[in-house]
Amino acid sequence: MVLEVALIDITPGAEDAFAAAYQAARPILATTPGCRSVRMTRGVESPSRFVLLVEWDSVEAHTENFRNTDRFSQWRGRIGQYFANPPLVEHFLDVPADSNGSAD
């Protein structure tokens, strides 16, 4: 499993419109093959900053099943107008919690 983390800064004053657009667009992302879960969080100290957390089967599931398809264009078309700047997106792997390689 790979965790995609996207740091999204929204134009001040557009936060509620962005949240509504995300809610409407979420199924585009959530129904992508290889997508395990989708969660959006909003900053407490920085309410114009949102963090998107997406669990994917693999980086390739993200890039090939979403980013390189029309799904991404639809997604970005619905939420991109609220971005203050392009999101910072990175992928992460769990660090094993014990010597057996288990992250739990």
Question: Are the CB atoms for 61 and 34 separated by under 8 Å?
Answer: yes
51/90 Cα distance (integer angstroms): 11
> CATH number of the domain at 2-92, out of 3.30.360.10, 3.40.50.300, 3.30.70.100, 3.30.450.20?
3.30.70.100
pLDDT digits (tens, 9 = 90+) for 50-99: 999 999 999 999 999 999 999 999 999 999 999 999 999 999 999 988 87
Inform me whether the pLDDT recorded for 3 exceeds 90: yes
Q: Which of 5, 66, 74, 80 is nearest to 31 (CA)?
A: 66
Structural domain boundaries of the chain?
Answer: 2-92
The identity of residue 65, as a single letter, is N
- Confidence class for position 45, pLDDT limits 50, 70, 90: very high
The identity of residue 1, as a single letter, is M
- Confidence class for position 101, pLDDT limits 50, 70, 90: low
